[in-house]
């Protein structure tokens, strides 16, 4: 019995033995590959931080960003708005963001190291605020203090790694994909209020290629989506690119956040009748 | 000749038919669909986070008072952020620790090493975080929805061209204090120095740059 079992493979001749060996080798190789693949799956946080480090240290870059975001309407519609932006950054203190909305409206944000300016082409008005310092200072001032919109502003900062370390509660590697024109790592993560997905290029230039942000605590869980293209880290932008010269006839207006505003004035206050006024 | 004229007039009519609605819709979001919302800002944090964090410290109102009050207000605002975000950081630190322990229980030792590496990396980054807690939570939370909180902003600049239309938009569709245009058909334009003010009855307005473009803001009478 023992002999028969031992000789089961042998007893079927050389051809069978070869086939058995080949099958075994294939199985072993398959298992090894699967194990190796699992073992080499990158750590999501490491991929994220590599991107943050790389981007924050890149001295000059330009990228085109196609963005889309959901805006939930009172009637229940969820409308997607689209924009295209060209971002040019030169550290430590130069930034230019050209934007075009899906309805054609164009605007500009320029920081020259001393002041930050935003210009609306359709109405030919601009607002300007002094802000000597770095891009980091100007961006935070622009968004937080002036209440202005600058999507994905955090990616512009030199302290991007610290920002992500502060905010990201968890991040996981999902898969490697080649659907974005270059091999990329797909990550999924969470901050306190935003779930995000990022696709980061594989290789020695770990740049973001796509981002999806989900505002999970907001009604309808709207998303902000961005597709990055034409990354160029070899630019040498002229200073004039970051200088804003108002077009003839353009009017300067203040930032709304700096105005001394008053309470909403939908209706004139009711005139009190009787008594002293 | 007549045929040519007829064809030309047909072409012009068709062009007007197609371009008319586009010109009308430009900058106004079609029939008035709102472009605002939590996702508009594209921030890695949303207003809910900022509100939660500030609410715990009772600081939400002061944030916007800070915006009105200029630099002094900003300074006090930053101090409040700093005070509150300390607790927030501790909370997140505790959460991260729990998470790391769970991971360590289920994953191999290599994972533990990774976690340790990340921890030291986090400390390294935090150590070089110049703004400390001041910029956290959520300096970029709420950009793009701020217009809705600016109660006195009453219309977009795009609507300025339609000042003749005094129709008020539904407050719910455009945010508190918003209207499709200035609330009067023919505002009086009052130049004061290099600035222009708009007057509707006893109310005064000024064009200003809001979160996503030019808007009109109700203000006190110039000189007050």
Residue A269 falls inside a structural domain? no
- Return the pLDDT at B158: 41
CA-only gyration radius of chain B, Å: 26
User: Considering only residues 4 to 33 of chain A, which have any Cβ-Cβ distance to chain B shorter than 8 Å?
Assistant: none
- Prediction ipTM score: 0.79
- For residue A99, give its domain range: 44-258
Same domain, A112 and A201: yes
Question: Per-residue pLDDT tens for B84-129?
Answer: 445 445 554 555 555 555 554 544 554 555 445 545 544 444 444 4
Q: What percent of chain A has pLDDT over 70?
A: 79
- Return the pLDDT at B192: 85
Same domain, A26 and A103: no
Q: If you measure CA to CA, which chain A residue comes closest to B213?
A: A120
* Residues of B whose CB is below 8 A from A218: 37-39, 46-48
Residue B152 in this model has a pLDDT that exceeds 50: no
Q: What percent of chain B has pLDDT over 90?
A: 4
Same domain, A99 and A231: yes
Residue A268 falls inside a structural domain? no
* Residues of B whose CB is below 8 A from A72: 37
Residue A144 falls inside a structural domain? yes
Is B48 in Cβ contact with A261 (below 8 Å)? Answer: no
Give the lowest-confidence range in A78-92, A188-202, B161-175: B161-175
Question: Per-residue pLDDT tens for B11-27?
Answer: 555 554 444 444 333 34
* Residues of B whose CB is below 8 A from A73: 33-34, 173
pTM (predicted TM-score): 0.67
Same domain, A169 and A65: yes
Is A258 in Cβ contact with B70 (below 8 Å)? Answer: yes
Shortest Cα distance from B126 to chain A (angstroms)?
A: 6
User: Considering only residues 108 to 127 of chain B, which have any Cβ-Cβ distance to chain A shorter than 8 Å?
Assistant: 114, 118, 121-122, 125-126
Same domain, A11 and A53: no
Question: Per-residue pLDDT tens for A129-187?
Answer: 999 999 999 999 999 999 999 999 999 999 999 999 999 999 999 999 999 999 999 99
Residue B80 in this model has a pLDDT that exceeds 80: no
The structural domain count of chain A equals: 2
* Residues of B whose CB is below 8 A from A253: 206-209, 214
Q: Evaluate whether A44 touches A171 at the Cβ level (below 8 Å).
A: yes
Residue A273 falls inside a structural domain? no
Is B118 in Cβ contact with A46 (below 8 Å)? Answer: yes
Is B218 in Cβ contact with A215 (below 8 Å)? Answer: no
Give the lowest-confidence range in A197-201, A266-270, B39-43, B93-97: A266-270
Instruction: Write the CATH number for A138.
Output: 2.50.20.10
- Give the C-alpha separation, B124 to A35, whole Å: 33
For residue A30, is the peptide bond before it cis, meaning its omega torsion is within 30 degrees of 0?
A: no
Residue A4 in this model has a pLDDT that exceeds 60: no
Of residues A260 and B90, the one with the higher pLDDT is A260
Same domain, A81 and A213: yes
Same domain, A27 and A71: no
- Return the pLDDT at A36: 45
pLDDT averaged over chain A? 86
pLDDT tier, A246 (very low <50, low <70, confident <90, very high otherwise): very high
Mean pLDDT of A7-35: 52
Q: What percent of chain A has pLDDT over 90?
A: 78
* Three state DSSP letters for chain A: CHHHHHCCCHHHHHHHHHHHHHHHHHHHHHHHHHHHHHHHCCCHHHHHHHHHHHHHHCCEEEEEEEEEEEEECCCCCEEEEEEEEEEEEECCCEEEEEEEECCCCEEEEEECCCEEEEEECCCCEEEEEECCCCHHHHHHHHHHHCCCCCCCHHHHCCCHHHHHHHHCCEEEEEEEECCCCCCEEEEEEECCCEEEEEEEECCCCCCEEEEEEEECCCCCCCEEEEEEEEEECCCCCCHHHHCCCCCCCCEECCEHHHCCECCCCCCCCCCCCCCCC
């Amino acid at each position: 019995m023992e002999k028969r079992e031992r000789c089961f493979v042998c007893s079927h001749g050389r051809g069978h033995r070869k086939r058995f060996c080949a099958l075994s080798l294939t199985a072993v190789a398959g298992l090894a590959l699967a194990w190796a693949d699992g073992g080499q799956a990158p750590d999501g946080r490491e991929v994220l931080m590599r991107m943050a480090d790389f981007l924050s240290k890149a001295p000059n870059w330009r990228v085109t960003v196609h963005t889309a975001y959901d805006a939930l309407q009172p009637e229940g519609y969820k409308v997607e708005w689209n924009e295209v932006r060209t971002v040019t950054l030169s550290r430590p203190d130069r930034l230019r963001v050209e934007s075009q909305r899906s309805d054609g409206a164009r605007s500009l944000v320029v920081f020259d190291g001393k002041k930050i300016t935003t210009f609306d082409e359709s109405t030919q008005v601009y607002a300007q605020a002094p802000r000597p310092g770095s891009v980091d200072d100007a961006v935070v001032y622009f968004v937080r203090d002036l209440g202005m919109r600058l999507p994905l502003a955090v990616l512009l900062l030199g302290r991007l790694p610290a920002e992500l370390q502060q905010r990201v509660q968890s991040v996981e590697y999902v898969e490697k994909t080649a659907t974005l024109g270059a091999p990329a790592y797909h990550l999924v993560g969470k901050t306190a209020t935003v779930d995000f997905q990022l696709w980061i290029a594989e290789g020695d230039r770990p740049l973001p290629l796509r981002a999806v942000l989900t505002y999970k605590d907001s009604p309808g869980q709207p998303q902000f989506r961005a597709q990055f293209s034409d990354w160029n880290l070899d630019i040498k932008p002229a200073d004039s690119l970051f200088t804003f010269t108002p077009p003839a006839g353009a009017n300067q207006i203040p930032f709304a956040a700096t105005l001394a505003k008053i309470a909403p004035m939908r209706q004139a206050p009711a005139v009190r009748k009787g008594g002293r006024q | 000749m007549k045929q040519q004229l007829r064809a030309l007039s047909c072409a012009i009519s068709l062009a007007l038919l197609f371009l008319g609605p586009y010109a009308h819709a430009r900058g106004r979001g079609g029939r008035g669909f709102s472009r605002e919302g939590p996702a508009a800002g594209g921030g890695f944090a949303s207003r809910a986070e900022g509100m939660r964090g500030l609410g715990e410290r009772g600081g939400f109102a002061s944030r916007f008072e800070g915006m009105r009050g200029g630099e002094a207000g900003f300074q006090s605002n930053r101090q409040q952020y700093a005070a509150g975000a300390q607790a927030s950081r501790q909370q997140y630190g505790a959460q991260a620790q729990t998470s790391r322990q769970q991971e360590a229980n289920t994953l191999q030792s290599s994972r533990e090493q990774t976690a340790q590496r990340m921890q030291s990396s986090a400390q390294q980054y935090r150590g070089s975080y110049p703004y400390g807690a001041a910029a956290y939570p959520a300096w970029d939370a709420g950009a793009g929805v701020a217009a809705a909180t600016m109660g006195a902003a009453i219309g977009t600049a795009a609507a300025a061209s339609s000042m003749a239309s005094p129709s008020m938009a539904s407050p719910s569709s455009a945010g508190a204090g918003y209207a499709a245009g200035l609330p009067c058909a023919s505002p009086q334009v009052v130049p004061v120095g290099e600035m222009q003010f708009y007057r509707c009855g006893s109310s005064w307005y000024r064009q200003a740059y809001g979160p996503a473009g030019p808007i009109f803001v109700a203000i006190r009478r110039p000189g007050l």
